[in-house]
Amino acid sequence: MEKIVQPLMQWFETHQRELPWRKDKEPYHVWVSEIMLQQTRIEAVKKYYTRFIQEIPDIESLSLISEDKLLKLWEGLGYYSRAKNLQKAARTIMQKYHGEFPRSYEEIMKLSGIGEYTAGAVASICFREKVTAVDGNVLRVMARVLGSRENVLLPQTKKEFTKQLAKILPQQAGIFNEAIMELGETVCLPNRSPLCGECPIAKYCVSCRDGLTSEIPVRIKSLKRKKEEKTVLILYCDGKIAIEKRLSEGLLSGMYQFPNRDGFDTPEQLKEKLHPLSISFLGKAKHTFTHIDWYMQGYLVTVREQCGDFLWVSPQELTEQYALPTAFQPFWKMCHSLPDSFIK
Ligand code: SF4
């Protein structure tokens, strides 16, 4: 394994992509980018990251920004608890560390929303601490290089690979960590498409030698997914649309949503309940969360008065001020594409 270190680091020197958060080793920048990248692809993160840093340039401003504004900036990235944890951690840094990002792996680990991977990435890249940072890309590269058929989704596999990596970690651990992640992102690609011909460590790779790259890594999910059906209502009245704030705990907490109910209501049931002026079926959408799949059907319902405990906002206000989770965005787009859309 130690033979992969030098070629990997040399390759990284010349092949690393230019990414906005690589311009400096500022911990705030590395931290925000790593959190964004946890569940989102690099290409999508770039534009969010740049806008986020422009609007919230430092830890102090992150600690002070309103939750609504923060979630609006995060809109579209999903997994909103990441944004809330960022702010919680920023407040801790302001209170406990006088605004200075903590410098050791152990201290970084204590911050909200930071796990072993992110703590390892920030500590090694920004503070040159000799620690590993093992994400999905690293697990894939490791499994293939070692020719390991262990299930990479199991914690014990991650633990074992982390142990092996710790043994070969060079002094410049940050560069090595970035290099192996970059290899996973750009060369040792998932599924059946690693670019072994371009790989700097191909001659040390068991999977490449033995033709196992389509079988490794082994990923066996044990998670039972839950399925939920929902009827989503775009309630419209006098140029305004009804939205409501979700509860402050749980899935998509604190975000705004279109009113919705569990199960699929028929138009007849909706007419009976809402006595609308008109009702039209918008379409279907599915959204996948970590453990749950939402199957949704949406209706545009024009009502007589701005009823209920909803917040009634104009289309412009909704777009500019309120964070609408990705799960509900398809219905908003469907409203835009109606032939006589009320959205100007
Ligand atoms: S040789 Fe191929 S399978 Fe092995 S690490 Fe490189 S890209 Fe991945």
What confidence score (pLDDT) does residue 44 get? 86
Do 92 and 124 belong together in one domain? yes
Do 240 and 122 belong together in one domain? no
Residue 343 lies in a domain: no
Element (H, E) at 66: none
Please name every residue paired with 230 in a beta bridge, in sequence order, or none if there are none.
Answer: 262, 296
What confidence score (pLDDT) does residue 254 get? 83
Residue 99 lies in a domain: yes
Banded pLDDT at 344 (limits 50, 70, 90): low
Do 87 and 199 belong together in one domain? yes
Do 49 and 183 belong together in one domain? yes
Kindly state if the Cβ of 63 falls inside 6 Å of ligand 1: no
Do 156 and 245 belong together in one domain? no
What confidence score (pLDDT) does residue 40 get? 81
CATH number for 244: 3.90.79.10
Do 138 and 234 belong together in one domain? no
Residue 257 lies in a domain: yes
Res. 343: pLDDT tops 70: no
Residues 77-91: tens digit of each pLDDT? 888 889 999 999 999
Tell me the percentage of the chain whose pLDDT exceeds 90. 79
Domain end: 185, 210, 235, which one?
A: 210
Kindly state if the Cβ of 144 falls inside 6 Å of ligand 1: yes
What confidence score (pLDDT) does residue 341 get? 67
Do 202 and 295 belong together in one domain? no
What confidence score (pLDDT) does residue 247 get? 84
Do 181 and 72 belong together in one domain? yes
- DSSP codes joined into one string, 81-132: HHHHHHHHHHHHHHHHSTTPPP-SHHHHHTSTT--HHHHHHHHHHHH-----
Closest residue CA from atom 2 of ligand 1: 196
CB 302: neighbour CB atoms within 10 A?
16
Do 187 and 254 belong together in one domain? no
Residue 215 lies in a domain: no
Domain end: 149, 175, 210, which one?
A: 210
CB 116: neighbour CB atoms within 10 A?
17
Residues 133-145: tens digit of each pLDDT? 999 999 999 999 9
Residue 284 CA to residue 152 CA, distance in Å, equals: 34
Do 65 and 122 belong together in one domain? yes
CATH number for 104: 1.10.340.30
Res. 287: pLDDT tops 90: yes
Banded pLDDT at 291 (limits 50, 70, 90): confident
Residue 342 lies in a domain: no
What confidence score (pLDDT) does residue 70 get? 95
Do 234 and 204 belong together in one domain? no
What confidence score (pLDDT) does residue 338 get? 76
Domain end: 161, 176, 210, which one?
A: 210
Res. 219: pLDDT tops 80: yes
Distance, CA 127 to ligand 1 centroid (Å)? 29
This prediction has a pTM of 0.74
Domains of the chain: total? 2
Kindly state if the Cβ of 125 falls inside 6 Å of ligand 1: no
Distance, CA 146 to ligand 1 centroid (Å)? 10
Q: Which domain holds residue 127?
A: 2-210
What confidence score (pLDDT) does residue 216 get? 94
Residues 37-71: tens digit of each pLDDT? 987 888 889 989 999 999 999 999 999 999 999 99
Query: Please, what is the average pLDDT of the chain?
Result: 93
- Report cis status (omega within 30 of 0) of the bond before 170: no
Residues 92-101: tens digit of each pLDDT? 999 999 999 9
Tell me the percentage of the chain whose pLDDT exceeds 70. 98
Residue 273 lies in a domain: yes
Kindly state if the Cβ of 175 falls inside 6 Å of ligand 1: no
Do 200 and 245 belong together in one domain? no
Residue 102 lies in a domain: yes
Residue 19 CA to residue 36 CA, distance in Å, equals: 13
Distance, CA 66 to ligand 1 centroid (Å)? 45
Residue 43 CA to residue 240 CA, distance in Å, equals: 34
**Positions marked catalytic:** 34
Residues 165-209: tens digit of each pLDDT? 999 999 999 999 999 999 999 999 998 689 999 999 999 999 999
Residue 323 lies in a domain: yes
